[in-house]
Amino acid sequence: MPETFEPKIVAFFCNWCTYLAADLAGTSRIKYAPNTRVVRVMCSGRVDPQFVLDAFAKGADGVLIGGCHPGDCHYQEGNYKALRRVELLRRLLRQMGIEEERFRLEWISAAEGDRVKVVINDMVEKIRALGPRVPAVKKEVA
Amino acid sequence: MSESNGTIRVGVYVCHCGTNIAAVVDVKSLAEYGASLPNVAVSRNYKYLCSDPGQDLIRQDIAEHKLNRIVVTACSPHLHEHTFRTAAAAAGLNPFFVQMVNIREHSSWVHEDKKAATAKARDLLRAAVKRVARHEPLEKVSIPIHPAVLVVGGGIAGIHAALTLANAGKKVYLVEREPTIGGHMAKFDKTFPTLDCAACILTPKMSAVKNHPNITLWTYSEVVEVAGYVGTYNVKVKRWPRYVSEDLCAGCLECLEACVYKEGKFPDDFNVGLAKRKPIYIPFPQAVPQVPVIDPDTCIQFKSGKCKKTCIDACGDRHAISFQLEEKTEQIEVGTIIMATGFQTFDARRVPYYGYGVYPNVYTALEIERLVNASGPTGGEVVLRDGSTPKTVGIVHCVGSRDENTNRWCSRVCCMYSLKLAHLIKEHTGADVFNFYIDIRTPGKGFEEFYQKLLNEHVHFVRGRVAEVTDWALDPSEEGKLVLRVEDTLAGLVRRIPVDMVVLSTGLEPHADAPDVRRLFNITCSDGGFFLERHPKLAPVNTFTDGIFLAGCCQGPKDIPDTVAQAGAAAAEALALIDAGYIETEPNTAYVNEEVCSGCKTCVPMCPYGAIAFLDPEKKARINQAMCKGCGTCVAACPSGSIRQHLFEDEQIFEEIEGILTYA
Amino acid sequence: MKTLRAFWLRPELRRKMKFQREADPEWAKHVAARPGCEGLFSCLQCGTCSGTCPLSIYMDFAPRRIIALVREGFREDALSCQTIWLCASCYACAVHCPRQIHITDVMYSLKREAVQHKLYPRRFPIPVLAQEFYKIVSRSGRSAEFWLVLRMALRTNPFQLFTMIGTGWQLIRTGRLKLGRERIEGVHQLQRELADKEVA
Amino acid sequence: MTPPVYGYYPGCSVRGTGAAYEESLLTLFRLLDLPLEELKDWNCCGATSYMCIDEEQAFLLSARNLALARQAGLKEVVAPCSACYLGLRKTQDYTERYPEIARKVRHALAAANLPSLDSVKVRHPLEVLFADVKPEQIRSKVVRHWRGGRVACYYGCQLVRPFAEADRAHDPTRMDDLLRAVGVPTVDYALKTKCCGGALTGTIHGVGVRLNYILLKEAARKGAEAIATACPLCQYNLDAYQAEIRREAGEVMDMPILYFTQILGWALGGDAKALGLGRAISGRRFITEWFPKHPEAVEKYV
């Protein structure tokens, strides 16, 4: 494993809360770890378990789903649906031998730019401690 | 599908955004990298892509290089997606062949390590190029706008918005929680910096609202349910009973005189508890509507049923008063909504060291507003609780503002209203007035001049945040007084200043129930709980929910001029929609591929809008495109993968994931 | 520079003007990085600290000005003043500060640096007391009020001992003055702990 | 349910100037049958002075005490002296907030083969009596009614600041509640959390004494005839210099400065000697009158 292993995290952010929070973090110039890559979806409820599995299959070191706080969903209850799926997905991932820390669901509202930093930095730190999930060979190129 | 036929030719455009992006992300190499990606025909970088020449650049390339996909690597899609889609459309390309890559908010602004930021930008660009290849031409859906408007809140913001719309000939429903409209402004005596009388400005507008044929005014009412979407909102309004019929009452107010209570006995909210009212009352003489309210919690008839009901006798054969009246619910349909729900003042009890509620002569600014008001409880006399006139007064700024322990924001109006009160108190009592401030903020037309005027009126200005208000005397001269301990940071020494009256300039904060209101209307909040505007500069009165606009202090602390201006703006935004007659929305709806649908009905309960119908003969699900809001929950839920979503097709997202993770 | 000042100014006068080269902004950053000193730069100079401080009225610089001096990097002024020593750690400033700056801990931090570099005012009783206290406790594991005061007095101004006799007698009379010196059994264990290289 | 065994950390000053505090505390806890187990071979908490020289070592002093508590299998440690209470509590807080400090402390404790300090709850008697025992229960145990005057409750600084856990930081009331529970009238006292100057009376004497002069004067002004304290240093400062204040300020001032534990202990039937009431310097005449040697005998006459 290389000295400074930079995990790559695929993040699915909902268009109305977490994606805006990330934008807010930007406009407030809050600095955080450059390890996430955001995929915008309209609602955390749109995140199909296949997306998560696919990301891991293609070598993501972590997957982060960001949605509105319970009760605040722009589509009333999409985030609850997401929550239910995530629970199932967690079990599946555990069976696949993927550590808990690599997969997270977070509620981040449009006002919580700072929370984006906190969550991402924390996740990166934890995953860095775990080390790369896929053979290090693949990493060199990045 | 003509444009997507044949070879895919992508144009990549990397924006410098001046130095916003270029200073951190290596835009040149990023553009070169773009050129190296599959399907990319052109890849450029440019200083300001959103500018006219920038957009021209894209338009020309579409024509010259036969581009059929555009990837703009710049800022957040929330900011300029629309701009670039329009540009593409102008060049004859379907606007949905454009994909934004957000390397400003999500990279250059949040990362310091240039290499890492550039690497991130590359990944995101690669993902977008792969994704855009899968895009398909779509048509915008346009939804008709119902011409009626709902205005929530009858303060100066709501009043102004309602009148503006009504004067433009639009139907307006104005809903106010209190028994009268007027809001906080109705409580003020004078307004800064011109010191013109608040009532003289407000009350004519209030009666204009009452008399306007296009305005339906519902006071003592509350919005309890909001269904639907931009264009047609179905709103339920609960109307509490006043026990005095608005239709029958002539506003003679004889019932008030007649009440068995000869004197007011219960704290009067309008006078923030400084006066007493009867169980049947009218908030203030110029209230609109001029219809009394009976408060069932204090009215003898309601409590015991054994009242002489002198009020009913007084009303005589008008029969306006009826204890049987019940609350009713009105159902209305509107196309747009203006939120003007206002603010509440900070509760000074939250800062015990200022002694509010402990020492009787510590007042809040709002209480003083009532005291100086000619139509207030003391008829404009500024007196202490014991009726005597204060000889020295201390005004404490920033109470519940700029404080990490309470509210961290600046409430914007306190400096100026404190100056105003200082002037009025001096005028009414000739007292020696001290202002204790952290910074004096007078950034408005005529504000600084007003500050200068106060300085010349020999009002004391002590720069320092008061540490505490106590009644303990360290010196005989302090006996029986309230003592403020403060560092005079400019003189550079600690001072103890004995005063007769302390005024706490409490800040503005969102209503306690703002979170519930927010959920009810499905709009978002900013840090601190004020309602969040779509963009501070590009869309200051829009929310993230189409057709709902913000006016006044529910969006953040504001003075009256700014509030009125914003209310006008909100009204204009609503008018723009109404007069256009329709709004175009994202065609990001879900649809069913009926060949594949197994008819398992999993999706049906998933949809919060009941947009999914199950067709019995065919045993297939079908999605009503008009009702679908495009959340995509059903898409993710469908076991057979037969439900798909425009703009967020599975393939597109898989490509994006692949693009992010494949190390080219 | 010194000579120049001596030449131009009468000795009792002190130049108030500061040259920017006398400031050490790096030091300010360094202080702000210490545990408890975070938020130093978020100070808005409102003076709440000085206002709540029971001792600010005796200080050469009120707490607010200490923050300002530190923030601008005027190290010597901040470390050689009496203010930081007058702070009795009552934490009033800390709980009142609208920016939640732990001013008391900043004072502690400055005191330590002042002691380290011998910048504290000579013969000023408080730092002397602190050092004596440190010695006694490190040696025996417990403090001994009587000896502490005695040593402090001897090192600053022996004559004040006379003024203390009255109180001393009262304490003896009520059995509150312990002349003996307690020593904990585990004093070696304690010293091993204190001497741990990770800390020293 | 049986009350937990509280670890007991006396601190240096209750073994000297604050002897009466320990005496009354132990008596009171005995009367309430709350077991107190003194930490074996505890050391100084470091107080404020040690913190001025070396922060990390100051934490280590407290760390040892907390470690000793763990060794003895104690979950909670009661520290009657506000300075000790703060010293221990602050050490915990810093080790929680700063991993680097935590690491060093862990290492040093290991070097002295002591267990690492995990959550040992640091508590002050005031809080224990209010939260665990509760005023009602104390009221139910009262055997003597108060024969003294009105009391101003003085909380001082470090008991409520910066950690507002023993009581609220602004306007604490628990001591008042406890004293009222045993029938003691308390006055509302604006200076209840103002500083007594701590060690200043010993160093910059004049300044220290003035602070106490202000505290005493305001208490008297509010009609208090005695002050109740919860810290040996506060008690000493307010108690020891009244004669001097009389001399300097020429004001009649002879006010008993009691520990709240003495008042509670008395109400619950503790005897004057066991409560260390004889150790007061000021207001002795009131004390002998309010806390007579043979209260029962006196009761007969009234």
Determine contact, residues D225/D286, Cβ cutoff 8 Å: yes
Q: How many CB atoms lie within 10 A of CB B492?
A: 13
Q: Residue A1 domain-assigned?
A: no
From C131's Cα to the closest Cα of chain D, the distance in A is 7
Q: Which residue of D has its CA nearest to B475?
A: D214
Q: Which residue of C has its CA nearest to D39?
A: C184
For residue B663, what pLDDT band results from cuts at 50, 70 and 90? low
Distance between CA D256 and CA D280 in Å, rounded? 7
Give percent above pLDDT 70 in chain A. 92
- B527 to A112: CB separation less than 8 angstroms, yes or no: yes
Q: Determine if residue B195 is left, alpha or beta; phi over 0 gives left, psi from -120 to 50 gives alpha, anything else beta.
A: left
- Whether B470 and chain D come into contact, CB under 8 Å, resolves to yes
Can you give the residue range of the structural domain that contains A49?
9-135
Distance between CA B130 and CA B136 in Å, rounded? 13
Average pLDDT on B609-628 reads: 90
Q: Which residue of A has its CA nearest to B529?
A: A111
Say if residue B351's pLDDT is above 80.
yes
Which chain D residues are Cβ-neighbours of C60 within 8 angstroms? none
Q: How many CB atoms lie within 10 A of CB B443?
A: 9
Distance between CA B541 and CA B551 in Å, rounded? 7
Residue B138: C-alpha distances to residues A46, B645, C58, C151 (Å): 20, 12, 76, 89
Average pLDDT on B496-520 reads: 96
For B:96-155, CB contacts with C below 8 A are none
Which chain A residues are Cβ-neighbours of B127 within 8 angstroms? 37, 39
Average pLDDT on B376-386 reads: 94
Distance between CA D174 and CA D132 in Å, rounded? 12
Strand B280-281 to strand B293-294: parallel, antiparallel, or no bridges (unpaired)?
antiparallel
Class of domain D6-125: mainly alpha
Name the residue with tokens 């800022």: B75
Say if residue C43's pLDDT is above 90.
yes
Say if residue B234's pLDDT is above 50.
yes
Determine contact, residues D54/C113, Cβ cutoff 8 Å: no
Give percent above pLDDT 90 in chain A. 80
Which chain D residues are Cβ-neighbours of C92 within 8 angstroms? 157, 161, 193-195
Q: Tens digit of pLDDT for each residue in D142-181?
A: 999 899 999 999 999 999 999 999 999 999 999 999 999 9
Report the candidate in A120, A37, A14, A99 with the shortest Cα–Cα distance to residue B636.
A14
Which chain A residues are Cβ-neighbours of B632 within 8 angstroms? 41-43, 45-46, 78
For D:160-189, CB contacts with B below 8 A are 170-171
Classify domain B2-140 by CATH number.
3.40.50
Q: Tens digit of pLDDT for each residue in A47-74?
A: 999 999 999 999 999 999 999 998 889 9
Say if residue D4's pLDDT is above 80.
no
- C129 to D161: CB separation less than 8 angstroms, yes or no: no
For C:136-195, CB contacts with D below 8 A are 137-138, 141-146, 149, 152, 160, 163, 166-167, 170-171, 174-178, 182, 184-186, 189-190, 192-194
- B489 to C96: CB separation less than 8 angstroms, yes or no: no
Q: Tens digit of pLDDT for each residue in B10-41?
A: 999 999 999 999 999 999 999 999 999 999 99
Q: Which residue of C has its CA nearest to B351?
A: C96
Distance between CA B332 and CA B350 in Å, rounded? 40
Distance between CA B188 and CA B184 in Å, rounded? 7
For residue B253, what pLDDT band results from cuts at 50, 70 and 90? very high
Determine contact, residues B444/B559, Cβ cutoff 8 Å: yes
Angle, alpha carbons D81-D87-D90 (nearest 5°): 135
From C188's Cα to the closest Cα of chain B, the distance in A is 45
Q: Tens digit of pLDDT for each residue in C83-128?
A: 999 999 999 999 999 999 999 999 999 999 999 999 999 889 999 9
Distance between CA D50 and CA B484 in Å, rounded? 35
Distance between CA D18 and CA D81 in Å, rounded? 9
Candidates D52, D55, D66, D231: best to mutate against C (most CBs of C within 10 A) is D52
Angle, alpha carbons B47-A12-B607 (nearest 5°): 120
Average pLDDT on B589-597 reads: 94
For domain B344-509, say whether CATH 3.50.50.60 is its number: yes
Average pLDDT on B228-241 reads: 95
Q: Residue A3 domain-assigned?
A: no
Number of domains in chain A: 1
Give percent above pLDDT 90 in chain D. 88
Distance between CA B656 and CA B633 in Å, rounded? 19
Candidates A44, A65, A75: best to mutate against B (most CBs of B within 10 A) is A75
User: HEC profile for C16-48?
Assistant: CCCCHHHCCHHHHHHHHCCCCCCCHHHCCCCCH
Q: Is B321 helix (H, G, I), strand (E, B) or coil?
A: strand
For D:263-282, CB contacts with B below 8 A are none
User: What interface predicted TM-score (ipTM) does this complex get?
Assistant: 0.88
Average pLDDT on B429-456 reads: 97
Report the candidate in C67, C61, C62, C64 with the shortest Cα–Cα distance to residue C37.
C67
Backbone angles phi, psi at C138, to 5 degrees: -60, -30
Distance between CA D137 and CA B113 in Å, rounded? 63
Q: Determine if residue B182 is left, alpha or beta; phi over 0 gives left, psi from -120 to 50 gives alpha, anything else beta.
A: left
Give the pLDDT score at B187: 96
CATH classification at residue A47 = 3.40.50
- Whether B402 and chain C come into contact, CB under 8 Å, resolves to yes
Average pLDDT on B632-644 reads: 94
- C47 to B464: CB separation less than 8 angstroms, yes or no: yes
Comparing CB atoms, the residue among C35, C129, C138 nearest residue D203 is C129
From C111's Cα to the closest Cα of chain B, the distance in A is 23
- B492 to C62: CB separation less than 8 angstroms, yes or no: yes
Give the pLDDT score at B191: 96
Give the pLDDT score at C159: 87
Does the model's pTM come out above 0.95?
A: no
Which chain C residues are Cβ-neighbours of B467 within 8 angstroms? 48, 50-52, 96
CA B531 to chain centroid: 4
Determine contact, residues C26/C73, Cβ cutoff 8 Å: yes
Say if residue B1's pLDDT is above 60.
no
- The answer to which of A36-50, B457-471, D74-88, D109-123 has the lowest mean pLDDT is D109-123
Comparing CB atoms, the residue among A48, A55, A142 nearest residue B636 is A48
Comparing CB atoms, the residue among B522, B524, B636 nearest residue A109 is B524
Report the candidate in B582, B548, B552 with the shortest Cα–Cα distance to residue B161.
B552
- Whether B661 and chain D come into contact, CB under 8 Å, resolves to no
Distance between CA C111 and CA C121 in Å, rounded? 11
Report the candidate in B51, B52, B60 with the shortest Cα–Cα distance to residue B16.
B51
Report the candidate in D131, D130, D129, D44 with the shortest Cα–Cα distance to residue D88.
D44
Q: Tens digit of pLDDT for each residue in A115-142?
A: 999 999 999 999 999 988 754 344 444 4
- Whether B83 and chain D come into contact, CB under 8 Å, resolves to no
Determine contact, residues B144/B661, Cβ cutoff 8 Å: no
Position D87, amino acid: G
From D260's Cα to the closest Cα of chain C, the distance in A is 18
Distance between CA B524 and CA B195 in Å, rounded? 36
Where in chain D are the domains?
6-125, 135-301
Fold match flag (D6-125 vs D135-301):
no
- Whether B339 and chain C come into contact, CB under 8 Å, resolves to no
- Under 8 Å CB-to-CB from B341, ≥6 apart: which residues? B152, B153, B511, B514, B517, B552, B554
Neighbours of chain C (3+ CB pairs under 8 A): B, D
From B352's Cα to the closest Cα of chain D, the distance in A is 7
Comparing CB atoms, the residue among B398, B438, B494 nearest residue C56 is B494
Helix or strand (DSSP H, E) at A130: helix A113-130
Q: Residue A2 domain-assigned?
A: no
Strand partners, B499: B482
- Whether C91 and chain D come into contact, CB under 8 Å, resolves to yes
Which chain A residues are Cβ-neighbours of B636 within 8 angstroms? 45-49, 81, 85
Give the pLDDT score at D69: 94
Candidates B359, B362, B403, B472: best to mutate against D (most CBs of D within 10 A) is B472
Interface size B-C, in CB pairs within 8 Å, comes to 60
Average pLDDT on B255-267 reads: 94
- C50 to B489: CB separation less than 8 angstroms, yes or no: yes
Classify each residue of B181-199 as buried b or exposed e, where b means 16 or more C-beta atoms within 10 Å of its C-beta. bbbbbbbbbbbbbeeeebb
Q: Residue A142 domain-assigned?
A: no
Using a threshold of 3 CB pairs under 8 A, tell whether chains C and A touch: no
Report the candidate in B46, B44, B52, B51 with the shortest Cα–Cα distance to residue B70.
B44
- A8 to B608: CB separation less than 8 angstroms, yes or no: no
Give the pLDDT score at D298: 57
Candidates C16, C44, C46, C66: best to mutate against B (most CBs of B within 10 A) is C46
Query: Which chain C residues touch B if contact means CB-CB below 8 Å?
Result: 44-53, 56-57, 62, 64-65, 96, 98-100
Which chain A residues are Cβ-neighbours of B76 within 8 angstroms? 23, 26
Distance between CA D266 and CA D287 in Å, rounded? 12
Average pLDDT on B186-197 reads: 94
Give the pLDDT score at A72: 87
Q: Tens digit of pLDDT for each residue in D184-198?
A: 999 999 999 999 999
Max mean pLDDT among C2-16, C90-104, C139-153 falls in: C90-104
Give the pLDDT score at B516: 94
Helix or strand (DSSP H, E) at B415: helix B414-429
- The two three-digit tokens of residue D51, written as one number: 């913190």
Average pLDDT on D274-285 reads: 94
For residue B543, what pLDDT band results from cuts at 50, 70 and 90? very high
Domains of chain C with bracketed CATH: 14-116 (1.10.1060.10), 125-194 (no CATH)
CATH number for D135-301 (one of 2.60.40.10, 3.40.718.10, 3.30.930.10, 3.40.50.11810): it is 3.40.50.11810
Where in chain B are the domains?
2-140, 254-318, 344-509, 590-645
Sign of CA dihedral B487, B490, B493, B496: negative
Give the pLDDT score at C181: 84
Q: What is the mean pLDDT of chain B?
A: 95
Give percent above pLDDT 70 in chain B. 99
Comparing CB atoms, the residue among A55, A109, A141 nearest residue B663 is A141
Helix or strand (DSSP H, E) at B85: helix B77-90
Average pLDDT on D91-119 reads: 90
Angle, alpha carbons D167-D169-D175 (nearest 5°): 35
For residue C1, what pLDDT band results from cuts at 50, 70 and 90? very low
Under CATH, which architecture does the B590-645 domain have?
2-Layer Sandwich (3.30)
Give the pLDDT score at D118: 74
- The two three-digit tokens of residue B579, written as one number: 């007069």
From B464's Cα to the closest Cα of chain D, the distance in A is 20
Give the pLDDT score at C10: 61
Report the candidate in D219, D279, D264 with the shortest Cα–Cα distance to residue D245.
D219
For residue D50, what pLDDT band results from cuts at 50, 70 and 90? very high
